[in-house]
Amino acid sequence: MEMPPVSYFEENLCTHYNLIGSCTIDEHYHIVLPNITTIAIIREWLNGQESSPKLLITFTPVNSRMSYLVSLLSDYFHVLFYSSI
């Protein structure tokens, strides 16, 4: 089965847009957000749509710092969960 063209979908179908991979983590483990000019341009475009969808800035960088933070959170929740049993 062939994929339908993008024009097939209703323009205001989406209520949220994810800006995937837009954040990074610096060497001090601080979150670095995307450039404010980029966000302003995207927001202006979104506000021009009939349904005014939301822009979500996702925290999905792929790097060793992110892996380190995830492992810390995992350890923390593991201890928290098993200490309550």
pLDDT number for residue 56: 81
Which tokens belong to 49? Answer: 């749509």
- Reported as a single tens digit per residue, the pLDDT across 3-54 is 667 677 676 677 777 777 778 888 898 888 888 888 888 888 888 777 778 8
Burial (0-12, 13-18, 19+ Cβ within 10 Å), 22: buried
Domain boundaries, the chain: 10-83
Count of Cβ atoms closer than 10 Å to residue 74 Cβ: 10
Strand locations in the chain (E): 16-19, 24-25, 31-32, 54-57
Q: Give SS3 for 6.
A: helix
